[in-house]
Amino acid sequence: MDKEERKIINQGQEDEMEIYGYNLSRWKLAIVSLGVICSGGFLLLLLYWMPEWRVKATCVRAAVKDCEVVLLRTTDEFKMWFCAKIRVLSLETYPVSSPKSMSNKLSNGHAVCLIENPTEENRHGISKYSQTESQQIRYFTHHSVKYFWNDTIHNFDFLKGLDEGVSCTSIYEKHSAGLTKGMHAYRKLLYGVNEIAVKVPSVFKLLIKEVLNPFYIFQLFSVILWSTDEYYYYALAIVVMSIVSIVSSLYSIRKQYVMLHDMVATHSTVRVSVCRVNEEIEEIFSTDLVPGDVMVIPLNGTIMPCDAVLINGTCIVNESMLTGESVPVTKTNLPNPSVDVKGIGDELYNPETHKRHTLFCGTTVIQTRFYTGELVKAIVVRTGFSTSKGQLVRSILYPKPTDFKLYRDAYLFLLCLVAVAGIGFIYTIINSILNEVQVGVIIIESLDIITITVPPALPAAMTAGIVYAQRRLKKIGIFCISPQRINICGQLNLVCFDKTGTLTEDGLDLWGIQRVENARFLSPEENVCNEMLVKSQFVACMATCHSLTKIEGVLSGDPLDLKMFEAIGWILEEATEEETALHNRIMPTVVRPPKQLLPESTPAGNQEMELFELPAIYEIGIVRQFPFSSALQRMSVVARVLGDKKMDAYMKGAPEVIASLCKPETVPVDFQNVLEDFTKQGFRVIALAHRKLESKLTWHKVQNISRDAIENNMDFMGLIIMQNKLKQETPAVLEDLHKANIRTVMVTGDSMLTAVSVARDCGMILPQDKVIIAEALPPKDGKVAKINWHYADSLTQCSHPSAIDAEAIPVKLVHDSLEDLQMTRYHFAMNGKSFSVILEHFQDLVPKLMLHGTVFARMAPDQKTQLIEALQNVDYFVGMCGDGANDCGALKRAHGGISLSELEASVASPFTSKTPSISCVPNLIREGRAALITSFCVFKFMALYSIIQYFSVTLLYSILSNLGDFQFLFIDLAIILVVVFTMSLNPAWKELVAQRPPSGLISGALLFSVLSQIIICIGFQSLGFFWVKQQPWYEVWHPKSDACNTTGSRFWNSSHVDNETELDEHYIQNYENTTVFFISSFQYLIVAIAFSKGKPFRQPCYKNYFFVFSVIFLYIFILFIMLYPVASVDQVLQIVCVPYQWRVTMLIIVLVNAFVSLTVENFFLDMVLWKVVFNRDKQGEYRFSTAQPPQESVDRWGKCCLPWALGCRKKIPKAKYMYLAQELLVDPEWPPKPQTTTEAKALVKENGSCQIITIT
């Protein structure tokens, strides 16, 4: 039973894999070695390409626990195989205790994570992985992650740091003291070196990997075969093309590795100080850090070499590496539950939940703040590839394969050609044996027919169009590091955009303020920096309620805070390090207005009051700060005006939240209406509130008070209105995409309200469209996960469902086509937390939400990647446009990722735009469509070339003849290569059209096109071949044949004389050969013109001057040598003389062939079949039209039209999103009604099914 076991590692995670154990088998190895020798090394290549076969052919199944090799298979739709060798980590060198004492202390029963109590480590540390008999741990490495054998779960598992299963209490109690040197050494043995190693492979290694591509192996086989047949010239041409292709490929691959290596290497090795148990400070290299080390953060900052949780002091960090927002973030120490007044109990530490206290790898610590004599300390929680940056680099190094139908169909098409070649192969052998041909000739000719049918020049031909597209993209400032993705971009039907810096300008602008006095709104004011307001509580709140700090004398922080502070023109002063050292606590940050804003003298009448209220210097000290929390949607501060006895509490945040925490009598009656007016105009609105604190609250009490005690019973002060300006080109570009039926989605790290307003502003959500906010809550206190549905526009108006007007419920379908479903009148919006909950607990809702999800706010980098995958799972071709390192994973995962930054994001992104503007997106799609259509044209042309030449050779084999070497060379080099490399030059069409090109070769229209041309070409070639035999002058050709009756005339072919001395061994020269050669030469050019289509995706072929010139030149040349033979040309091409009348007949055959081919391709196929039979491409998008009122039309579709339409077609749409759209048309429960809740069913984990419960 053990031997057949199958285990799952990383269960429930994105990289879940099945694992099978194998042991090396000597007898199997011997048989395989013999097979490799007998097959001339081909078996070795086959096993190299197929890791699964390699392991199964050389190993026998074994229990996973004791195996030598593991075979891994991903559980996703790709089912990819990997193999890894089991290695053994010896603990003999364990520095704390001797092997003997260790073996006595072994015991079982621990998970693979750090032991919380350091003293336990000696006793339990090894047992979790190793067998009790020895001090050895078995492990394997896959995709830069080590998996250790864990005796407890009887499976392999990766080593976790302090980021899982460790409580906040134990972080302080058990880990804050640091590690002993012995413990550090032991952990170093297990965790390895703390580095994100991106090895740049040597050129030789990359070359071997590239050369062992199946296509290049086939080319090598063809070249060897042609050389034995003395067909050197074309062999040389193929060799040259292959070398150019390999060199360019090696250059781009190595360049990517070097860029990634350079990006990662910036912080790979720095010197860091760590605290040991005896409180001594030791300086070590960052590569030696292990989870549990207590790292001292230097005063002047550093680039973090690991993920660490702050336990002492405060840090100001630039996290642009992770979030894309180059805003300094203040990180505070992790709350210590045993000390805090309002403890958080035994809450488990989680880097995501506690990100305000976590310093992430790769982020820059700009500055630190500390208490008296205290060092700023952080405990290392994750190292190497386990860190946030490590995971990002792994997603770049090992991306999921992008499945594209074109390439799958191309291989299928090649298999069909191989099958045709197989038939020719068998026919040639049988025909040659019957005609008693020599064995050597039979082998060469039968193998030759395979190289004719599967053209070795195909990869070069396919690459040509992509290279030209790459060149055109470069001209418009788009650089490409993954050329194969250009074709995929032609299929994009959905594009995700990051917001900040992509759709909008980087910063926010202050539009104005609207203050409240006596519970009434005053008129909006633009200028806040004036004498009238300088001493108002409103301006005091703007001056103090922020997280700004000075870094090297420059004010920095959140752009919103920065704009707000700059608008009032105040000055911020922070305590110096010397001042801080004199006090027990951090000295307060002080803000004060500039002198010119303060009144120079005070009016005489109010002298006493003014002197009491205003000291000579007016400044405010910020005593305590409660940082902004996205969960609470607010921040607050406690401040004191110099000379005042009482402190003030100021609060700012989301208007609805602030209003709910204020005294109702201070909130204006028209608050909701005013707020709605601003948000509908796309403004970002922030509310301010204030209250005087009791005089008994002292400095020390304030430092320990909970924020809930401060943030209540406030006075509402008014609104600040900020404007997030769209980039000038954004609305126009999005409109172009919508006209082309390309859906647009916003995925941002910014807040939900801002994202929705920007989406409305830029036209992503139309004014009449409804926005449904999905607020998902994880399971808590025994309750199941649930989603609350709010309608964004009605959210502020309605307190209970009955108040919702029927108009608020969106109409489902008002368009005439299922393709327009993205234009229906409702959109889903959600934040990152809700998205994660939905992915985990509501799997069956994910596809439905993907169909109409438009705004995804507060998305973490990995959530962006998950969103791209969720959209791909419903068969969207997804583009991603972003500008930050936080977009890296998503840019790599998308079918077409385009980075607007030349920094980190460009390493991961297949495309990088030199100009930071989204206008590159439609340009890329246009070029992608042109390249895709070019690929289809080239593939169709190469298929026809193969079949035409295959049929020519097969016809000639039947009379034991063949095409001559120079005939082959003329066709292959002069016609095929010239045509292939010029027909790919058509530029892209000027604008994006609503129609999309087919995604695969196996589509009705394309197959009909190819098959019809094959039948036409075979028909006319056969006509010429058999008709020539019916001519009165025909005889079986021999050197003295004279069908022309032109002895001594100008038509006399001098090759006759030569042929008497030079015997034609291969019987090349004959009337059939000459006829077939001329007709087939014209046929190559005819199909080239038939397949070179322009509009709507490419410019017309007559604008491709190189192609036009090449085709005209070849036509004239072939026509000339056919009608007016030149003796020297005839001799080289081994053409025989035929009567002039037959030459004219051949011309007529060619002209009729041309007329039939072009008529079928351009009229019958394009005008009739495309519109009637192949109405839409493979996506299965059928057109419906309705003039019924929307709801009636939905019901009516459900009963008659839809089943009738589907019944007639006998097939359903192939794209999941289209099929889903049809289903949702008749689903009365969708979209969810306002103010309803969807609950996940308890204990149902299989499909995550859910039910809708209306809350009344």
**Mean pLDDT to the nearest integer, 689-701:** 81
Flag whether pLDDT at 812 surpasses 90.
Answer: no
Question: What mean pLDDT comes out for the span 958-976?
Answer: 84
- Round to whole Å and give the CA distance between 257 and 263: 10
In whole angstroms, what is the distance from residue 895 CA to residue 742 CA?
14
Residues in contact with 911: Cβ distance below 8 Å, sequence separation at least 6, in sequence order: 473, 478, 479, 480, 481, 482, 485, 489, 896, 897, 898, 899, 920, 924
Banded model confidence at residue 1151, pLDDT cuts 50, 70, 90: very high
E strand or H helix at 427:
helix 405-434
The share of the chain scoring above pLDDT 70, in percent, equals 79
Q: In the structure, what pLDDT confidence band is assigned to residue 128 with cuts at 50, 70 and 90? A: low
Note the pLDDT of residue 1167. Answer: 66
Residue 164 contacts residue 122 (beta carbons within 8 Å): no
The region of weakest confidence among 279-288, 430-439, 573-582 is 573-582
Among 174-178, 379-383, 661-665, 1062-1066, the range scoring the smallest mean pLDDT is 1062-1066
Residue 1018's pLDDT is 92
State the Cα–Cα distance between residues 992 and 1065, nearest whole angstrom. Answer: 58
Model pLDDT for residues 351-408, shown as the tens digit of each residue: 877 878 899 888 888 877 765 567 888 999 999 888 888 887 887 788 766 656 666 7
Q: How far apart are CA 1055 and CA 1131, in angstroms?
A: 5
Of 312, 348, 293, 349, the C-alpha closest to 118 is: 293
* pLDDT classification of 1181: cutoffs 50, 70, 90: very low
Q: Is residue 481 predicted with pLDDT exceeding 80?
A: no
> What phi and psi values does residue 705 have, to the nearest 5 degrees?
-75, 150
| Residue 4 confidence (pLDDT) | 59
pLDDT at 1016: 93
DSSP at 1098: B
Q: Which of 559-568, 581-590, 794-803 has the highest mean pLDDT?
A: 559-568
Of 372, 362, 306, 310, the residue nearest 336 (C-alpha):
310
Helix or strand holding residue 424 (H, E): helix 405-434
Neighbours of 477 (CB within 10 A): 14
What's the full length of the chain, in residues?
1256
Say yes or no to pLDDT of 696 above 70.
yes
pLDDT value at residue 1213: 59
- With both helix axes pointing from N to C terminus, report the angle between 458-475 and 920-957 in degrees, rounded to the nearest 10: 160
Mutual angle of helices 1004-1029 and 1140-1158, in 10-degree steps: 170
- What pLDDT was estimated at residue 859? 81
CB atoms within 10 A of CB 1031: 16
Coil, helix or strand for 457? coil
CA–CA separation, 1002 and 285 (whole Å): 57
How far apart are the C-alpha atoms of 984 and 1088, rounded to whole Å?
11
Q: Identify the pLDDT of residue 457.
A: 76
Q: Sorting pLDDT into bands at 50, 70 and 90, what band is 615?
A: very low
**442 has a pLDDT exceeding 50:** yes
Bridge partners (DSSP) of residue 626 are 636
Name the token pair of 409: 């169909």
Q: Computed over its alpha carbons, how large is the radius of gyration of the chain?
A: 37
Q: Is residue 569 classed exposed, middle or buried when 0-12, 13-18 and 19+ CB atoms within 10 A define those classes?
A: middle
SS3 599: coil
- With a cut of 50, say whether residue 803 has pLDDT above it: no
Give percent of the chain with pLDDT exceeding 90: 8
Q: Which residues of 1053-1087 are buried (b: 16+ CB within 10 A; e: fewer)?
A: bebbeebeeeebeebbbbbbbbbbbbbbbbbbbbb
Q: What is the pLDDT of residues 185-228, one digit of tens each?
A: 888 888 888 888 888 888 888 888 888 888 788 888 888 888 88
Least confident range from 327-341, 508-522, 549-563: namely: 327-341
Cβ within 8 Å of residue 818, ≥6 positions away: 1181, 1182, 1183, 1184, 1213, 1218, 1221, 1222
| Of 739, 812, 728, the residue nearest 769 (C-alpha) | 812
Residue 1147 has pLDDT above 90, yes or no: yes
Q: What 3-state DSSP class applies to 979? A: helix
Mean pLDDT calculated for residue range 443-455:
79
Greater confidence, 290 or 824? 290
pLDDT at residue 582 greater than cutoff 70: no
Q: For position 1045, what pLDDT does the model report?
A: 63
Q: If you average pLDDT over residues 930-942, what whole number do you get?
A: 86
pLDDT of residue 447: 80
Stronger pLDDT, 738 or 92, i.e. the higher one: 738
Give yes or no for residue 95 having a pLDDT over 50. Answer: no
Surface-to-core class of residue 480, CB atoms within 10 Å of its CB (0-12 exposed, 13-18 middle, 19+ buried): buried
Q: Which of 118-132, 789-803, 1158-1172 has the lowest mean pLDDT?
A: 118-132
Q: What is the pLDDT of residue 786?
A: 85
List the structure tokens of 977.
Answer: 């290569």
d(C-alpha 541, C-alpha 717), whole Å: 9
User: Would you say 1186 and 1116 are in contact if contact means Cβ atoms under 8 Å apart?
Assistant: no
For 1230, the token pair is 């969708």
Amino acid symbol at 609: M
Q: Which amino acid is at 597?
A: L
Q: What is the Cα–Cα distance from 574 to 547, expressed in whole angstroms? A: 12
Strands ordered across the beta sheet of 145-150: 87-90, 136-142, 145-150, 155-158
pLDDT (average), residues 810-819: 40
Prior bond of 1096 cis (ω within 30°): yes
pLDDT of residue 371: 58
Query: Residue 327: pLDDT above 70?
Result: no
Region 406-421: mean pLDDT is 78
Of the ranges 3-7, 1019-1023, 1107-1111, 1218-1222, which one carries the lowest mean pLDDT score?
3-7
Who has greater pLDDT, 79 or 817?
79
143 neighbors 159 (Cβ within 8 angstroms): no
* pLDDT value, residue 911: 83
3-state helix, strand, coil in the chain (%, to 5): 45, 20, 35
Give the model's confidence band at 607: pLDDT under 50 very low, under 70 low, under 90 confident, else very high.
Answer: very low
Q: How far, in Å, CA of 1090 to CA of 373, rounded?
A: 83
Residues 940 and 929: their CA atoms lie apart, in Å, by 16
Rounded to the nearest integer, the mean pLDDT of the chain is 77
Please state whether 1101 falls in left (phi above 0), alpha (psi between -120 and 50) or beta. alpha
Distance CA 9, CA 71 (A): 12
Distance of alpha carbon 365 from the chain centroid: 29
> Strand 281-285's sheet: what is its strand order?
281-285, 271-275, 294-296, 377-382, 307-312, 358-359
Quickly tell me which residue has 């989680």 as its tokens: 350
- What pLDDT is recorded for position 133? 44
- pLDDT for residue 1068: 76
Q: Where are the beta strands (DSSP E) in 877-931?
A: 878-882, 896-899, 911-913
pLDDT score recorded for residue 1041: 67
Residue 577 has a pLDDT of 54
Q: Are 1010 and 413 in contact (CB under 8 A)?
A: no
- pLDDT band at 229, cuts 50/70/90? confident
Residue 1218 CB burial class (10 angstroms; 0-12, 13-18, ≥19): buried
**pLDDT tens-digit series, residues 1198-1223:** 334 334 333 444 455 567 888 888 88
Q: How far is CA 686 from CA 583, 720, 749, 750, 1155, in A?
A: 35, 5, 18, 14, 71
**Integer Cα distance of 286 and 884 in angstroms:** 26
Partners of 62 in the beta sheet? 21
Q: Mean pLDDT check: name the lowest of 87-96, 312-321, 740-749, 935-944.
A: 87-96
Choose between 15 and 52: higher pLDDT.
52
pTM of the full structure = 0.70
Cα 1183 from chain centre: 31
Question: Which residues, 6 or more positions from 588, have their beta carbon under 8 angstroms from its beta carbon?
Answer: 575, 621, 622, 623
Angle at 1023 between CA 1019 and CA 1027, to 5 degrees: 170
pLDDT, position 1115: 92
* Predicted confidence band of residue 1247 (pLDDT cuts 50, 70, 90): very low
- Flag the least confident range among 304-313, 792-801, 848-857, 1028-1037: 792-801
Say how far apart CA 237 and CA 223 lie, in whole Å.
Answer: 10
Dihedrals phi, psi of 1237, to nearest 5 degrees = -130, 135
Top mean pLDDT of 28-42, 487-501, 1028-1042, 1234-1248 is at 28-42
Q: Of residues 447 and 1243, which shows the higher confidence score?
A: 447
For residues 95-108, give the mean pLDDT. 34
Catalytic residues: 498
Give me the pLDDT at residue 1170, please. Answer: 55
Give pLDDT, residue 323. Answer: 60
For residue 1057, the model assigns a pLDDT of 41
Rounded Cα–Cα distance for residues 215 and 460 (Å): 10
